[in-house]
Amino acid sequence: MNKMYLILLGAPGSGKGTQSKLIVEKYPFIQISTGDILREEISNKSSLGVEAKKFMDNGQLVPDELIIKILKEKLLNTQKHIILDGFPRNLSQAKALDDMMSEIGGSISSVINISVEDSVLEERLSGRLVCKGCGASYHKEFLIPKKKGICDKCGADLYQRSDDSPESIKQRLIVYHQSTKPLIDFYDAKDLLSNVDGGKEVNEIFESITSIIDGRI
């Protein structure tokens, strides 16, 4: 079977990270999350991390040239099927991805768009808690960890992301509507797009996603 490249498209808080983790548990995929890569650079205090943090905390996209370079390195060094979580984020990144695919002789297998109302996204992001150890996501009201502040899966501490502040969430949603949403039409025109209703329960959404993946494998 050819190597699969699956793109998860969706606004901040639509559940891309949550669904990626479920896909990785069931299928032989690895998740490449550009947001996670940038957060790791920030915690390592690398020059890239210092540069990226200024954009991320303000809810802006990190400049294309930085992110495209990182993504290219990851794509070239991975043999497994890949889920792209958080890339591409605008048309210029989508075109850069097409160029990378041509260079490596690959092709995008499927693009899954997870759609959710803005009011729900704001609620999800403002209450999100993330595990410092394994990256699992929880929510203060909707997905409460068994022990306060501790990850059910690995026992590490939970924290709130610095870009999950009210001002930053607002800005991220504006950037999503301006820059990322047009990718829905871009991939629809290429006949690669499937839509799932991200307002449903996590497991219901995952069922829809598995039927899309099973149809492509």
Site residues, ligand AP5 (CB under 6 A) = 10, 12-18, 34-35, 38, 55-56, 59-62, 67, 86-87, 89, 93, 124-125, 128, 137-139, 142-143, 163, 172, 201-202, 205
E strands of the chain, at which residues? Answer: 5-10, 29-33, 81-85, 110-115, 128-131, 137-139, 158-159, 193-197
Contacts of 79 (CB under 8 A, 6+ apart): 3
C-alpha 18/C-alpha 8 separation (Å) is 11
172 noted as active-site residue: yes
128 noted as active-site residue: yes
Active-site residue among 74, 140, 161, 181? 161
Q: Which is nearer to ligand AP5, 27 or 55 (CB)?
A: 55
Instruction: Tell me which H or E stretch contains 17.
Output: helix 16-26
Q: Which is nearer to ligand AP5, 2 or 44 (CB)?
A: 44
- Give the CB-side neighbour count of residue 163, counting CA atoms within 13 A: 20
Upstream peptide bond of 88 is cis (omega within 30 degrees of 0): yes
Q: Which is nearer to ligand AP5, 169 or 213 (CB)?
A: 169
Q: Which is nearer to ligand AP5, 201 or 214 (CB)?
A: 201
95 noted as active-site residue: no
CB atoms within 10 A of CB 178: 11
Q: Which is nearer to ligand AP5, 142 or 217 (CB)?
A: 142
- Which amino acid type is present at position 117? E
200 noted as active-site residue: no
Minimal distance in Å, beta carbon 95 to ligand AP5?
A: 13
Active-site residue among 39, 53, 89, 124? 89
Minimal distance in Å, beta carbon 130 to ligand AP5?
A: 7
Minimal distance in Å, beta carbon 122 to ligand AP5?
A: 11
89 noted as active-site residue: yes
Pairing of β 81-85 and β 5-10: parallel
How distant, in Å, are the alpha carbons of 28, 146, 160 from that of 138?
Answer: 24, 10, 10
Minimal distance in Å, beta carbon 173 to ligand AP5?
A: 9
Active-site residue among 16, 21, 53, 124? 16
Catalytic residues: 16, 89, 128, 161, 172
